[in-house]
Amino acid sequence: MNLAHWLERRAVLAPDRAALFNGGAVFTNYAGFAARARAVAGWLQAQGLRPGDRVAIFMRNAPDYLIVLYGIWYAGAVAVPINAKLHGKEAAFILSDSGSGFVFASAAQAEALAAAEVEARVLHVPGADYDRVLSAPQVSQIAPRAPDDMAWLFYTSGTTGRPKGVQITHGMLMSMALCYEADVDQTHAEDAALYAAPMSHGAGLYALMHVRVGARHVFPPSGGFDPVEILDLAEALDRVHMFAAPTMVKRLTEYAQTAGRDGSGLRTIVYAGGPMYNADIIAAEAHFGAVFVQIYGQGECPMGITVLPRADVSERSASGWRDRLASVGYAQSAVELRIGDAEGQPLPPGEVDEIMVRGATVMPGYWNNPEATEKTLRDGWLMTGDMGSLDAQGYLTLQDRSKDVIITGGSNVYPREVEEVLL
């Protein structure tokens, strides 16, 4: 089943419901959202695009990001989201390696691609090219896709060589979205998903479950994270959900404490992408209340390895509360988890070694990289490269990373990548 069916269903059942917001202003409703996506698909198909072809998105957060993403899926193609903060050289490699023939790009990102002299056709968003795309005849039906067909090609960092393309299927993303409902948070049509983190990463993936229920999708005018803007939008729109890196949570808390703002309108903040110190989450929960949920995942198992639910974060009287707060929670419903030795054999509780995971949200492999796939997947188990330990109740505590990595804004950056840009 194609993920685009979730949007089409909302457009049929609730066409007039507000869907995309630019700040506090409605950009379009669900009927308009789907119509624009169908036009993107129609234009791509008119250019000769076939199901399974790759189309890149190198854009800042904006309502059109979701329109393009779903347009790619309506056409049966594979989305290749590129972090808008990447250097033109890095983006050029991703375009070349993925074989993307088209890339939708914001102004600054289009300039970076021009400087890198990429071969892919660059479509400026907004711009005259994009206007022509939106005026194209709409597709009459969604391209059929099977659960094992690729939907999202995510380029993750690597300690050696070039970034690797993680193949993420329609079935994986549906499982991830349904696990979110079962394990993380239940979404409702009245909710507002606020995108203050890069859409090319976790924030973009979390759009799926909110589209499924017909919720609102809010893009801050700044295109990123600003504590004042976030709290203003939360107060204006209410029932706001957002994904945030731990550093974002810390900044939001510090601003709210200084400004005397209580975070009215915040419903759920899912935090991930780096270490969260106990003192920081305790301060945040004390100020904003029981709105926090932690998850742990990685590109190869997107957003879907563990969950530390809000009760474990907020119930201070519970036995072992501080230890659990220092963990990243327990396995989500679609996966099983183990700590494995050098041969991949399971170790008892308390032992520290590599974290292994398998299940419905684990990738089938890397794009055109069988050697890396063979090293990372063993008998269906994903070798995460992260070190950790499980307690007797199955709570996972991260101990270290077995790779050299710098975490910035919830994204991984490796020394090799910095060197590539500087040289």
Per-residue pLDDT of 262-319, as tens digits, reads 999 999 999 998 899 999 999 999 999 999 999 999 999 999 999 999 999 999 888 8
| Same-fold call for 4-9+26-145 versus 175-422 | yes
- Domain 4-9+26-145 sits in CATH at 3.40.50.980
Q: Is residue 160 pLDDT above 90, yes or no?
A: no
Domain ranges of the chain: 4-9+26-145, 175-422
Q: Is residue 161 pLDDT above 90, yes or no?
A: no
Per-residue pLDDT of 234-261, as tens digits, reads 999 999 999 999 999 999 999 999 999 9
Q: Give the global pTM.
A: 0.93
Confidence of residue 158 (pLDDT cuts 50, 70, 90): low
Q: What is the mean pLDDT of residues 121-143?
A: 98
> What SS3 class is residue 73?
helix
Q: Is residue 39 pLDDT above 80, yes or no?
A: yes
DSSP 278: H
Task: Measure the N-to-C terminal CA separation of the chain; round to a whole number of Å.
Answer: 44
Residue 90 to residue 359: CA distance in whole angstroms: 31
- Domain 175-422 sits in CATH at 3.40.50.12780
Give the pair of three-digit tokens for residue 84.
Answer: 């808008």
Q: Is residue 388 pLDDT above 80, yes or no?
A: yes
Q: Please report the beta strands in 129-222, taking only residues with DSSP state E, as ranges in sequence order.
A: 150-156, 164-169, 192-194, 216-219
